[in-house]
Each structure stands twice: as structure tokens, then as C-alpha cells.
Amino acid sequence: MTTIATVSVIGAGQMGVGISHAVALGGYQVRLYDLNPDRLPLAVGEIAANLARQVVKGRIDQAQADAALGRISTASTLAEIGKADLVIEAAVEDETVKKALYAELTPMLGADTIVASNTSSISITRLAAATDRPDRFIGLHFMKPAPVMGLVEIVRGIATSAATYETAVAFAESLGKTTTNAEDFPAFIVNRILVPMMNEAIFTLYEGVGDVTSIDKALKLGANHPMGPLELADFMGLDVVLAIMNVLYDGLADSKYRPCPLLVKYVEAGWLGRKSGRGFYDYSGAVPVPTR
């Protein structure tokens, strides 16, 4: 097994920020990179704010927060991050974008560096084939928000070695996470089940069976879900929900995975949920208000 001490995270969006937070709190040196360098100081500020929130809630103490923040640095080039023991890619959920990134990253990697993708749906085998190390490539799918959620899906590609898998499991467990092994099929386990449920909720709205409030209330109270499916879709990002549905629809060729036209329309309008300020709810006020 490879010994992990340094971890690079590619992508300073919501998932990259959360993963960096969790990994630094786990005691690892973290270097964060984003294609947009202006995003990096904002990302570090978000991590600091989230750590402070954990201190207020009593989940960690101030010394732990300060130590974790001190383990995080930023990088302006892929060359600066490639020599880490583990590189976690948390770029946008787009296979073309990820493969282009790997083409640029691969020459910068150390000989023993393991590459992991945080993809929530795309084939690990295909992504691994875009690198020079399919045996040292694996899926590490953190749930959102990464510092809070207890699960990491471990996804092996067809060429992933046993040593890489064992290292990935040990790494995730060292962060206090529970791991589950998922086979390399579209959307793996969690999103194979969860995202079609959201899509069905959107169809329920689209067909007028219930409004936003009724649908979310029904699942929260009737199925004891902590968040309603439309609320959860907004939290995940409607563009991400659509991307996963497209992966399922294309990969499994089953009409039950057809994205709801209303979901497509919202994404085309730029109504992506919480991150854009509007989705199935409008987040511009103190309390989210349904948009339908």
C-alpha cells in the first residue's frame, strides 16, 4: 500500500472545498488548485468559515480548526500539485473536461501518485484510460457536504489494482468515513438510487400531481427524509442532477432514466438551485420560497 501524507485537490468548487476541509481535518497536508486562480482565496475563506462553524457547534475545538487550516495551501499550476501522494479530482461533472484535465496533469504526476476522481456518475474505467496509470486510478466519491457526510463510495475501474483499492479504503477511513464498494456502473450506488428519485419528483411537479411544497412535505413526513427531493436537488445543483440523469440514460439505455423536461428547462434557464440563488426555490430572501 502507498503511504498517503500529501493530498492535492483539483477544483475549488463546493465539493473541492468540502473535500479539502475533510482531508485537512484528517491530518493531511492539502494543496488546492483551480483553473480559475481567483477562486482559491475565496475557497480558503469558505473552509475557514466552515471550520469556525464546527467549532461553534462543538464538533471540533479551536486548536483543531487552526491546525486544519494551517495544513491547506493553494497552487497556481498543475506542476505544483502533481507530486502529491494522492490527487483527488473534483472538477465539473463533465467527462470531456475531466479527460482534458488528465491529459495536462499526467506528465506532472509522481511515479507512485494515485489519482482519484470524485465523479458522482462517470465510468472510472473510461476516466482511468485517459491517464498513464489505470492501475493507480480509483473513484473516491465523497457525499455533499463532505466534512459532514459519513460515507465515501469507493469505485474500482477494471484496471484498478488491489493495492490502490486498499490504500483508498484506508485513506477514507482515516478521515472518519465509512466506505462502501460500488461496481463501475453508471452513477454507482447512491446516485443510481437517489437521483432518479429526484427526477421522478420533478416529473410529479411537471405533471401537476403536487406543487413544490406538497412534494417536499410528503417525502419529509411520509418517508422520514431529512430533506424533500426538490430541496435536495437544489442543494446538489440541478446541473449536476441533469448530468447524472444523462449518464444513466446514455449508459443504460432505459427510458426510466429520461431526464424530466422541466429539469432540462430549469438548467437551460440557469436556475441551478442554491448555488445560483434560484431553482425549485428562490433563495434571495431570508426564507426559501417555491418558484412553482
Q: Which residues are annotated as catalytic?
A: 120, 141, 153, 191
Name residue 73's beta-bridge partners. 31
What 3-state DSSP class applies to 73? strand
In this structure, what DSSP letter does residue 166 have?
Answer: H
Distance CA 14, CA 235 (A): 11
Q: If you search the block for the grid coordinates 426564507, which residue do you land on? A: 287
E strands, the chain, where? 6-10, 29-33, 72-75, 86-89, 114-117, 137-142, 151-156, 178-182, 281-282, 289-290
For 219-235, give the DSSP string: HHHHS--SS-HHHHHHH
User: In 7-71, which ranges are continuous DSSP H helix?
Assistant: 14-25, 39-56, 62-70
